[in-house]
Structure 1
Amino acid sequence: MRAFFIGKFLDGFIGTQKVRELTQLFEPVVESMGYELVGVEFQGAGGHGTLRVYIDRDSGVSLDDCAAISHQLSGILDVEEPIKQAYDLEISSPGIDRPLFKLADFERFAGRVAKIKLAVGQLGRKNFKGELQGVADSKWVKIEVDGEQFDLPYADIAKANLVGDI
């Protein structure tokens, strides 16, 4: 089960560059509180969205942890005002289907099953589900799908997450 906390905010469309900026803005705050910033994503259009911030730590993440991080990040967002459209701030643990954001995540979780969706197709496909094999040359994510090895460009990955074991 995944812990999460939602806070409501009013504020513009944000793209990949803005998500990177928010990640850089949030990371020192989250780490200073003893958590790992797993990643940041923004979803939504039509004037309203969700800014989702994933946090983790070895002992797990509780609702109180999410609320504490939400309080700190809300203050930063109020001062910096990086988003100009209406949005909800959601703080969440990564959960069983942990999203993979950083290149290091693909190395860290080598041996685990993951789903990867590419923004640009490779060999006639965009979706891959298989066992992560790590990283090569700091730019390729290696995954084995049904006994076949694929080297996927990290820069082309639109979304990736672990497939939870239940």
Structure 2
Amino acid sequence: MSQRLLQLLEPIVTDLGYELWHLESTGAGRSSVLRLYIDSPDGIALEDCEKVSREVSATLDVEDAGGSEYQLEVSSPGLDRPLVTGAHFARFVGERARVNMFAPVDGKRKLRGTILAVNGDTVDLGCDDQTYSLSTGDMAKARLEPVFEA
């Protein structure tokens, strides 16, 4: 993800009263998608996404006068929100997460467990009576795993 894009958009989202939870860009050319996940202590409604989308779109139109095409998507991170940074994991210590690693750890690429502790960008994940210390930089993908009680 472009650090420049993050530095451009984060203040806009923050000024509107939201947290820019995550920013991802996929595809290329006409199939390029720029996805912003926004969050707020009060939750996110459709109107919030529309407000952020208008402001971000206007800013991108001005900044990218050369004009690359993209589809802009703004949404809530949801219950199974992506976890990208150490701060994301720290916010959910004690909760369950699914983590896919770029390279196997003890022969496993996919881990599911409880977030036990976070130190910087190192996450201690408790899985099957074992604790794994994982660097967020080694994670291909991580998501919060919501637990629904009957």
Q: Shared fold by TM > 0.5?
A: yes
Residues matched between the structures, number: 148
Measured at CA, do residues 82 and 112 of structure 1 come closer, stay the same or move farther in structure 2, by a change above 3 Å? farther
Give the secondary structure class of the aligned counterpart of 1:86. Answer: coil
Letter in 2 for 1:36: E
Could you say which residue in structure 2 is the equivalent of 1:29? Answer: 12
- Residues 84, 136 of structure 2: 8 Å contact kept: no
- Residues 107, 133 of structure 1: 8 Å contact kept: no
Long gaps (5+) in structure 1:
1-15
Long gaps (5+) in structure 2:
none
- Residues 40, 53 of structure 1: 8 Å contact kept: yes
Measured at CA, do residues 118 and 62 of structure 1 come closer, stay the same or move farther in structure 2, by a change above 3 Å? same
The separation in 2 between residues aligned to 1:85 and 1:129, in whole angstroms, is 38
> Offset of 1:84 from its aligned partner?
6.5
- Residues 38, 101 of structure 1: 8 Å contact kept: no
Could you say which residue in structure 2 is the equivalent of 1:119? Answer: 102
> Offset of 1:134 from its aligned partner?
2.2
Could you say which residue in structure 1 is the equivalent of 2:124? Answer: 142
Give the secondary structure class of the aligned counterpart of 1:67. Answer: helix
Give the secondary structure class of the aligned counterpart of 1:159. Answer: strand
Give the secondary structure class of the aligned counterpart of 2:41. Answer: coil
How do 1:72-91 and structure 2 match up within 5 A?
72-81=55-64, 85-91=68-74
- Which protein, 1 or 2, shows the higher relative CO under an 8 Å CA cutoff with sep ≥ 6? 1
Letter in 1 for 2:58: G
> Offset of 1:131 from its aligned partner?
0.5
Measured at CA, do residues 120 and 46 of structure 1 come closer, stay the same or move farther in structure 2, by a change above 3 Å? farther
The separation in 1 between residues aligned to 2:112 and 2:106, in whole angstroms, is 15
- Residues 108, 134 of structure 1: 8 Å contact kept: no
TM-score when normalising by structure 1: 0.81
Give the secondary structure class of the aligned counterpart of 2:23. Answer: strand
Is 1:50 matched with 2:4?
Answer: no
Tell me which of 90, 102, 113 is aligned to 2:85.
Answer: 102
TM-score when normalising by structure 2: 0.89
- Residues 100, 141 of structure 2: 8 Å contact kept: yes
- Residues 141, 154 of structure 1: 8 Å contact kept: yes
- Residues 99, 112 of structure 2: 8 Å contact kept: yes
- Residues 110, 132 of structure 1: 8 Å contact kept: yes
The separation in 1 between residues aligned to 2:10 and 2:39, in whole angstroms, is 12
Measured at CA, do residues 105 and 34 of structure 1 come closer, stay the same or move farther in structure 2, by a change above 3 Å? same
- Residues 9, 56 of structure 2: 8 Å contact kept: yes
Q: Percentage identity across aligned positions?
A: 39
The separation in 1 between residues aligned to 2:140 and 2:66, in whole angstroms, is 21
Could you say which residue in structure 2 is the equivalent of 1:155? Answer: 137
CA RMSD of aligned residues (A): 1.9
